[in-house]
C-alpha cells in the first residue's frame, strides 16, 4: 500500500523487511515478489540501475520456480523500466516476450499490459498509428476483464489521438 501512495521510504523499509523474512523462511516466491516490488519502487524514484538488478533477480527466480504468470508480469515491469529510462529497443524486447508468454499461458491481464507497453513504446518513437492500435487492443482486453487500468489507457488513447489530430 505504501508503494501505491508514493510513500517510498516506508515502502522500501517494508519491502526490505519482507525480503529478509522470505529469505529466512526459504519462500522463493515471496522473495521474488519482494524483489519485483522493490524494483518497481526504485524505478518510480528514478534509481534505474538498482531497479533493473532487483527486477532481473525476480525474473530469474520466477523462471527457476516455474511461475510463468509472475514471469510475464516481471517481463512487463522490466519493459516499462527500459522505456522510462530511454532504452526503447530493450523495452520492446521485454514487452514482446511478455506478450508471447501471456498468450501462451492465457493471461489476458498480462497480455493487455504487454500490448499497452508496446503501444507506448511505438508512440514514443513516433509510430503513433501502431501505438494507437496496440493501446486500443490493450483497452479492449482491460475493459473485457474489468481491469482497473482501463480508464488510464483510455486517457492515453485520447491524448494520443488529440496529439495526432493537432488539438
For the segment 13-27, the average pLDDT, to the nearest whole number, is 93
What is the model's pLDDT at position 1? Answer: 44
What is the model's pLDDT at position 6? Answer: 60
Task: Please state which CATH class domain 1-66 belongs to.
Answer: mainly alpha
User: Which tens digits make up the pLDDT trace of 23-53?
Assistant: 999 999 999 999 999 999 999 999 999 999 9
Residue 65 main-chain phi, psi, to 5 deg: -95, 5
> Is pLDDT of 164 > 90?
no
User: Which tens digits make up the pLDDT trace of 67-119?
Assistant: 999 999 999 999 999 999 999 999 999 999 999 999 999 999 999 999 999 99
What is the model's pLDDT at position 3? Answer: 47
Decide which of 10 and 38 is more confident: 38
Q: What is the CA radius of gyration of the chain?
A: 16
What is the model's pLDDT at position 161? Answer: 84
What is the model's pLDDT at position 127? Answer: 95
What is the domain partition of the chain in residue ranges? 1-66, 95-167
Decide which of 160 and 149 is more confident: 149
C-alpha separations of 125 from 37, 58, 92, 96 in Å? 28, 29, 11, 16
For the segment 52-75, the average pLDDT, to the nearest whole number, is 98
For the segment 53-62, the average pLDDT, to the nearest whole number, is 98
Taking the whole predicted model, whether its pTM rises above 0.85 is answered as yes
What is the model's pLDDT at position 144? Answer: 97
DSSP 74-112: HHHHHHHHHHHTT-HHHHHHHHHHHHHHHHHHT-HHHHH
Amino acid at each position: 500500500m505504501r508503494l501505491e501512495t508514493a510513500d517510498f521510504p516506508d515502502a522500501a523499509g517494508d519491502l526490505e523487511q519482507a525480503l529478509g523474512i522470505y529469505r529466512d523462511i526459504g519462500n522463493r516466491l515471496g522473495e521474488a515478489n519482494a524483489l519485483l516490488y522493490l524494483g518497481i519502487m526504485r524505478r518510480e524514484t528514478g534509481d534505474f540501475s538498482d531497479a533493473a538488478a532487483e527486477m532481473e533477480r525476480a525474473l530469474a527466480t520466477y523462471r527457476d520456480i516455474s511461475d510463468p504468470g509472475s514471469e510475464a508480469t516481471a517481463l512487463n515491469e522490466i519493459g516499462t523500466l527500459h522505456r522510462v529510462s530511454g532504452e526503447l529497443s530493450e523495452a520492446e524486447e521485454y514487452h514482446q516476450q511478455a506478450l508471447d508468454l501471456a498468450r501462451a499461458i492465457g493471461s489476458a491481464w498480462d497480455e493487455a499490459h504487454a500490448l499497452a507497453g508496446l503501444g507506448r513504446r511505438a508512440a514514443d518513437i513516433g509510430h503513433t498509428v501502431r501505438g494507437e492500435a496496440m493501446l486500443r487492443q490493450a483497452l479492449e482486453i482491460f475493459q473485457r476483464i474489468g481491469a482497473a487500468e482501463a480508464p488510464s489507457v483510455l486517457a492515453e488513447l485520447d491524448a494520443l489521438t488529440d496529439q495526432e489530430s493537432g488539438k
